Each structure stands twice: as C-alpha cells, then as structure tokens.
C-alpha cells in the first residue's frame, strides 16, 4: 500500500491515478471526499498539516509514502507571518508525518520539495544542481529547505529511507495560476509584450513529474538522494508562448519589447517579481537523475504543452 498525501491537489491527484493504474494499492489522503469512486484507491481523511497531526490510521499497512501535501507558494500572501505559517505546515507537519511513518515501519518516504530551495534564478549556462548551496529567497522556499534538513536528521535518527524531489514549475491538465493565465491570454489573442525574451527556463510536465515520483517509490538507488526533475528541454518565455499557442491552435501575438525596458516598466508598476519570472532564467541539471535511476522524461515539452492546452480547451467548452 502506498499513501499519497495532498491527493486532492494538482500533483497528488495525478500521482494517485498513475499508481492505481499500475495495480498498486493506493491510499489517498484527502481534505474533501471525492465525487466518484476511483478503482484501486482507498480514500482517507487527511489531518491538518501540523505538529500534532495524527496519521496513524492512514499509515496502517503502508510501505511507502509520497508527501505531496503542502502549504503552497502564492504570489500575494496575506498571512500576518507567512514564514511561521509555512513552517507550521511544511516543516512541522512534514516531520510529524515522517516520524509516524518511521514508527509504523514505512520503507520509503518521498518528499515533494521545490526548486525554490536552490533559489530563484540561474545564469542561462549554469543550471542548478542538487549539490549547490541552497539559497531560498521566500518563506515557501525556506520552509521546504528546512523540511528537507529535518527529514535528513530524522532519516539518520530512525533509518527511514527518504527521497527528495525538487521540481520547477509544473504544468499540465488542470494547471492554474500564472500558467493558466498564459493559456487564457493566448486563447483570446491578447497581444503580449514578450516577443523578445532570451532567457532559458526549465519546466516539468505533470506526467513527467508523476513518472519520476512513481520511479522513486520503487527504485533501489533512490533513497538518500535529492533529485532534480524537468522536461529535459529549456525554453525562453518567447518560445514557450509560441509553442503553447501552437498547442491551442492559435498564433501567438507577441510584441518584441526589449527585455530591459519590460523589466523597468514592470518594476515601476510594482510587478518586479512577475517580470523576473518572465524574463529571468532558471535551469536545472537532470543528468544526475537520469544516470542514477536510468530515468528519462516520458513525454516531450510539446506533448506536455498539448495535454495542458487540450484540457484547458475542454474546460473552456464546459
């Protein structure tokens, strides 16, 4: 039996379906009950992510845990003390689950972390590696780093085999937030001042991330590792928009505004962080992941973009 936390979420729901399709017993920890029964999936109520959460019932008979539940990053966090809130859920909640998993005899704990542990940007020719000195810059990234370190301490204390996976931006069917906004703007034919962006960014299709997580549950070389993941092809923002428009059956209306002018204007409007994501580079090196696990992304960037676009169009048609 494999326990997936955050099984209502974007990554957790896709992983649950993938594991169940492989005829593996799956227990999905959810905050709200599903509307329909999933063959091969047992649903249990997920406790809150906190230091005093009781996971004992959910962990009964479980041999592996994939911890995808988290307090997620948001662009505008209105919490009075965001770091304290992230620490409560992402650090204390993770440690509580992992400690109870160790006590229950769980054989593997896979933690979905974030590339934000490494930092927010790279030179185009110097991708992040798992061995880089972490440089998280926001409360979410800090909490994920602290959770990773706490899991390392717990692994040494209890012998619990831990695997850490740090994805960059994840996209796919059902994607929301900024990627959804890009789909909407491209579908509507909105002119975008992003026709001259020469950055490089790593992304990961939902199917590729889920495939790696499923691999980490079983592969004998995974425990004790911190693994980076991506589609294996880095894109500029301009190229991403063109290929995403193609997936939508549209022509991208991109205005070639000079990149530096765009950054200056965005900062003047209080949107500097958005400009950084659109114009800055963030690349990851997945060669060690490939070598260690004999793994390769099963879908290409274009296949991943097409899956996201088709799901968006189905939803738009109602």
Nearest CA to 108 out of 158, 145, 56 is that of 158
For the chain, the distance separating the N- and C-terminal CA atoms, rounded to the nearest angstrom, is 36
Give CA–CA dist 216/107, Å, rounded.
12
Q: Can 171 be counted among the known catalytic residues?
A: no
Contact 285, 228 (CB under 8 A): yes
Looking at 140, 171, 179, 295, which residue is catalytic? 140
Give CA–CA dist 23/18, Å, rounded.
9
Q: Which residues, other chains included, contact 261 with Cβ-Cβ below 8 Å and sequence gap of 6+? A: none
**Hey, which residues are catalytic here?**
140
């Amino acid at each position: 039996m494999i326990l997936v936390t955050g099984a209502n979420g974007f990554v957790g729901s896709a992983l649950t379906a993938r594991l169940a399709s492989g005829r593996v017993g799956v227990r999905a920890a959810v905050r709200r009950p599903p509307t329909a029964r999933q063959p091969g999936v047992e649903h249990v109520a997920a406790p809150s992510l906190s230091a005093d959460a009781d996971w004992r019932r959910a962990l009964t008979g479980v041999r592996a845990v994939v911890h995808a539940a988290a307090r997620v990053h948001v662009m505008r966090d209105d919490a009075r003390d965001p770091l304290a809130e992230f620490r409560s859920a992402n650090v204390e909640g993770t440690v509580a689950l992992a400690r109870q998993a160790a006590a229950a005899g769980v054989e593997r704990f896979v933690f979905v972390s974030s590339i934000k542990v490494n930092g927010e940007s790279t030179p185009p020719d110097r991708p992040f590696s798992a061995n880089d000195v972490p440089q998280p810059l926001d409360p979410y990234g800090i909490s994920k780093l602290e959770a990773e370190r706490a899991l390392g301490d717990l692994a040494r204390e209890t012998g619990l085999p831990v695997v850490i996976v740090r994805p960059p931006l994840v996209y796919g069917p059902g994607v929301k937030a900024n990627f959804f906004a890009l789909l909407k703007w491209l579908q509507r034919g909105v002119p975008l001042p992003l026709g001259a962006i020469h950055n490089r960014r790593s992304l990961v299709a939902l199917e590729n991330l889920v495939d790696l997580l499923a691999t980490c549950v079983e592969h004998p070389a995974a425990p004790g590792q911190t693994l980076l993941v991506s589609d294996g092809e880095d894109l500029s923002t301009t190229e991403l928009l063109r290929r995403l428009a193609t997936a939508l059956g549209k022509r991208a209306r991109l205005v070639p505004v000079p990149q530096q002018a765009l950054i200056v204007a965005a900062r003047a409007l209080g949107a500097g962080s958005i400009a950084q994501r659109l114009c800055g580079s963030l690349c990851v090196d997945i060669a060690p992941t490939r070598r260690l696990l004999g793994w390769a992304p099963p879908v290409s960037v274009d296949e991943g973009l097409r899956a996201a676009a088709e799901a968006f169009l189905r939803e738009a048609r109602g």
